[in-house]
Every structure is written in C-alpha cells, then in structure tokens.
C-alpha cells in the first residue's frame, strides 16, 4: 500500500519519567501518518537483557543516548525508508539483518524505539487502533490491572547492588465485572493508602505513583502487608483485590554466600529460608502475583515455588523477554508468566514471537511499561489479550484502557480472576470471587 510506505525516520534524545534520557524515534509514512515511540533503560536491569547504547562520559551520568539516536538516523533509517510500515515482520527483519547476531552494535534502545515507532506508524497509516493492528479482530480482552502502593529499598538497609526501589508492591483488582470497576477500586484503595502514609511519615506518591517508605518506619514488610490488607478491607474490597510484588531479588543476592540481605526485614536469608518465607506469606496474605522471587538464574527454586505456591509467578530478570530463556524456563517449569518488556529483547517481532511461544505452553504474559511505552502499553496488552498487567489501573495508562473499553463496547471482555494464573486458589469455597 502506497500510503503505508516509510518516508522518513528521525531520532532524538529526550527526557523521561525514569530519571534517565531515552531515545525517541518518529517514523512518518507517505500518507502523512506518524508513529512515535520512546525507549529508556529501567531502574532494575537484568544482566541478560540486550545491551543499550550509551554515550558515556559525564553528562547524564554516562547514560546519554545521542549516539543511539545517531545510529537510528545514520544506520537504520536508510535501510527501512521505502519499506512498508504495515509489514512489521519485514521491517524488523531488515533492522536485525544490518548486523546479524550483533544487535549490540546498533543498541537495544535504538532497535526497540525504531521497531515500536514503525508499529505505531503502521497502525496510524492504516487508520486503525494500535491494539487492532497488533491483535486483529481477536483483540478484545482487558487485563486485570493494579495500582502502585509501596517502593523503597532502604527501609532495611538496602541491597547488595542497586535495587532501584525494589521490592515494589501493588494491589491487583481481580474481583470485578469490568475494567472500569476495577480501575475505580484501585483509585479508592490508593487514595486511602496515600492518606495513611502521609499521616504516618509525610509520605507522598513519587514517580509512577509508588510511595517510597524510608528506613525506620516498619520493622518488617509484614507490617506493611497488614496495613495494605486493612486498607483493602476498609474500602470494602476484601476478596476482590490481592497483592502483587516485584521483588527484583537478584539485587539482594550475595553470590559469595548465596544469601539474601536486607530483603523484607533485617534478617539474612538462605534460599531455603526465603522459599519458606514466601510460602508462609502466601498463606497469611492475599498474594496473587510474585515477580522474580529468586535470583535471575535460579530456575530450580522458581520452579518449585511455582509448583507449590499455586499463584502467578512472573519472570522478569529470569526471562528478559528472551525466547531462549523463556524456552529454558518452560522446560524447567519455572514461573508461569513472562513479564513483557519489548526492549529487553529488541524488536516488536521478536517479542511477539516470544509471546506466542509462551502462550503455546500455557504461560501468561504480563506487560510492563517501565521502559518508555507509556499509555501505549494498554494497546499492547489488549492486542495480545494479556491476562494481567503491571499497575496501569489509573493515570494515563488507565485512561487509555478506559478509552479502549469504550471503543470495544459490548465486545469488551474482562475475565477478572480467571485471567490470573492459579486463579482457582483465590476463589471462595462457594466458587465465587
């Protein structure tokens, strides 16, 4: 189609809400449609993610990305200009074939931002929503959303490396009939929580709506979970909302003695002690999702927890959206859900291939917008019919979901608890939520 042909590709270094610069790429097609996408590095970064291109030096702490933007314009753009933006697989293949098996020479951030911009340009040039461009007529399911509650890695002295505010804790709204209802419940619980934290220590929501809890407020995270559960009950949502936790455990792992320090309280924990701890808190509190419960290469411990816990166990640093790591995890039974961060692997096509592979073996996929996707993560989630999503119930991402829900009308589907892995374990004895 003449109108969908890529006419120009521009790239810039931009500021982001992650505290680090990002690469923004703008792809324009022959019919004037544009696709704009940004990619930035995360706070907690797995060692198996594709390498980004950074400028080095002193500016932005060495994390400037002007060189990545230059590679987009000087190397990638000449290859894809003239190609059809509606043919994502073909464009991505052309990008990846510039340096076969050496994606690092372009930079994962340059590849990811360009690929996502092409995806959006293709949708806009065709005049269809992004979720429809991704998933076709079958895109109709809205995921179980959550709302950010707790962050802060210094409350028990910090981790071995830089934990980036982990563990973070959220509340997932699964016991509702529509996304709109789930969204409102999340807003109400978060509002109550913010008021409590303000009275307790002057805590106010920081970036991404998490409230960072400083050292000395709580003696252990059990006290936090007690207060979170109390807040859910006070709002009238007991049995309809549960906990999600991104542990980023590798940042607390000491490889010399194989123990975890500063995690959940001041007590160092062996792998076996940490496993027992997880099993106990799953019994004591309404945990429905735990992400990266052990270090990023511990497939065996993750597999055992997946089997014994009966809840949704998500692999982020464990998998890094990498098809080979996902395949190995599946062979071991490690986790039952893959966290989706496209720029961990590179292109949209590679991520979509991984998603289909995960679905084939009964794994779930949980999108996260922590690398610059913004409100477009809602389109990604609906496009792949994801069962759950990191946070996203309120704010710009929540707004986009509400817009999609309205666009879909009577065809919009919200499965609630049934969308979660291990959902039977959060059902009441009478079979109701």
Domain ranges of the chain: 2-127, 135-426
pLDDT of residue 429: 35
7-to-30, 37, 117 alpha-carbon distances in Å? 5, 16, 13
Q: Encoding tokens for residue 102?
A: 């050496």
Please classify residue 86 by burial: count the beta carbons closer than 10 Å to its beta carbon, then call 0-12 exposed, 13-18 middle and 19+ buried.
Answer: buried
Q: How many Å apart are CA 371 and CA 348, to the nearest integer?
A: 13
- Closest residue by Cα to residue 297 from 360, 369, 249, 233: 249
Q: Residue 25 gets which letter from DSSP?
A: E
Q: Is the peptide bond before 237 cis (omega within 30 degrees of 0)?
A: no
What does each of the 433 residues of the chain score in pLDDT, given as a tens digit? Answer: 579 999 999 999 999 877 789 999 999 999 999 999 999 875 555 555 567 888 889 999 898 999 999 999 999 999 999 999 999 999 999 999 999 877 778 888 999 999 999 999 999 999 999 999 999 999 999 999 999 999 887 788 777 777 677 899 999 999 999 999 999 999 999 999 999 998 888 766 544 478 888 888 898 999 999 999 999 999 999 999 999 999 989 889 888 999 998 899 889 999 999 999 999 999 999 999 999 999 989 999 999 999 999 999 999 989 988 889 999 999 999 999 999 987 777 789 999 999 999 999 999 999 988 666 889 999 999 999 999 999 999 999 999 999 999 999 999 999 999 999 988 776 543 344 4
Are 39 and 343 in contact, with CB atoms under 8 Å apart? yes
Which CATH number is correct for 135-426, 3.60.110.10, 3.40.1010.20, 3.20.20.120, 3.30.70.120? 3.20.20.120
pLDDT of residue 213: 84
- Closest residue by Cα to residue 244 from 259, 228, 260: 228
pLDDT of residue 166: 85
User: Partners of 32 in the beta sheet?
Assistant: none
100-to-82, 105, 218, 324, 326 alpha-carbon distances in Å? 21, 10, 51, 17, 21
Q: How many Å apart are CA 70 and CA 76, to the nearest integer?
A: 9
pLDDT of residue 428: 46
pLDDT of residue 217: 87
pLDDT of residue 207: 41
CA 294 to chain centre: 18
Q: How many Å apart are CA 144 and CA 311, to the nearest integer?
A: 14
Overall pTM surpassing 0.85 (yes/no): yes
- Give the H/E segment covering residue 38: strand 34-40
pLDDT of residue 180: 98
Q: How many Å apart are CA 416 and CA 290, to the nearest integer?
A: 17
Are 390 and 367 in contact, with CB atoms under 8 Å apart? yes
Q: Which residue has the tokens 């269809």?
A: 128
Are 231 and 193 in contact, with CB atoms under 8 Å apart? yes
Under CATH, what is the fold of the domain 2-127? Enolase-like; domain 1 (3.30.390)
- Give the H/E segment covering residue 382: helix 376-383
308-to-282, 391, 421, 422 alpha-carbon distances in Å? 11, 25, 13, 11
Backbone conformation region of residue 176, classed left if phi is above 0, alpha if psi is from -120 to 50, else beta: beta
Are 151 and 165 in contact, with CB atoms under 8 Å apart? yes
Are 23 and 62 in contact, with CB atoms under 8 Å apart? no
Q: How many Å apart are CA 354 and CA 346, to the nearest integer?
A: 12
| β-pair type (211-212, 144-151) | parallel
Query: What string of DSSP letters covers 58-96?
Result: SGGGGT--HHHHHHIIIIIHHHHTTSBTT-HHHHHHHHH
């Amino acid at each position: 189609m003449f109108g969908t042909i890529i006419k120009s590709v521009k790239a810039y270094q931009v500021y982001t809400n992650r505290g680090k610069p990002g690469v923004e790429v703008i792809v324009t097609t022959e019919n004037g449609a544009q696709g704009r996408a940004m990619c930035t590095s995360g706070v907690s970064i797995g060692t198996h993610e594709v390498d980004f291109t950074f400028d080095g030096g002193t500016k932005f702490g060495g994390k400037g990305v002007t060189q990545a933007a230059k590679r987009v314009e000087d190397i990638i753009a000449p290859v894809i200009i003239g190609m059809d933006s509606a043919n994502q697989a073909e464009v991505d293949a052309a990008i990846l074939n510039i340096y076969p098996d050496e994606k690092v020479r372009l930079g994962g951030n340059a590849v990811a931002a360009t690929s996502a911009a092409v995806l959006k340009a293709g949708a806009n040039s065709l005049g269809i929503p992004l979720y429809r461009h991704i998933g076709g007529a079958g895109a109709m399911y809205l995921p179980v959303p959550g709302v950010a509650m707790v962050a802060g890695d210094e409350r028990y002295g910090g981790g071995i490396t830089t934990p980036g505010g982990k563990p973070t804790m959220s509340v997932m709204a699964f016991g509702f009939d529509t996304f709109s209802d789930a969204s409102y419940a999340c807003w109400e619980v978060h509002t109550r929580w913010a008021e409590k934290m303000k009275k307790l220590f002057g805590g106010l929501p920081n970036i991404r709506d998490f409230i960072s809890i400083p050292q000395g407020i709580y003696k252990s995270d059990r006290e936090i979970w007690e207060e979170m559960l109390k807040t859910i009950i006070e709002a009238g949502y007991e049995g309809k909302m549960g906990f999600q936790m991104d542990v980023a455990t590798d940042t607390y792992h000491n490889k010399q003695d194989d123990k975890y320090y500063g995690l959940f309280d001041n007590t160092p924990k062996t792998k076996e002690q940490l496993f027992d701890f997880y099993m106990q808190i799953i019994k004591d509190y309404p945990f429905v999702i735990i992400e990266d419960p052990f270090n990023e290469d511990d497939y065996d411990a993750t597999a055992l927890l997946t089997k014994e816990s009966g809840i949704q166990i998500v692999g982020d640093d464990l998998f890094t959206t990498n098809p080979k790591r996902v395949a190995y995890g599946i062979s071991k039974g490690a986790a039952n859900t893959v966290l989706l961060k496209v720029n961990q692997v590179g292109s949209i096509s590679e991520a979509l291939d991984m998603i289909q592979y995960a679905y084939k073996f009964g794994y779930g996929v949980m999108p996260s917008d922590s690398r610059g996707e913004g409100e477009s993560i809602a389109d990604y989630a609906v496009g792949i019919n994801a069962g759950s999503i990191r946070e996203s119930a309120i704010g710009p991402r929540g707004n986009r979901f509400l817009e999609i829900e309205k666009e879909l009308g009577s065809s919009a589907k919200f499965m609630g608890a049934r969308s979660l892995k291990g959902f039977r374990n959060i059902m009441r004895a009478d079979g109701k939520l």
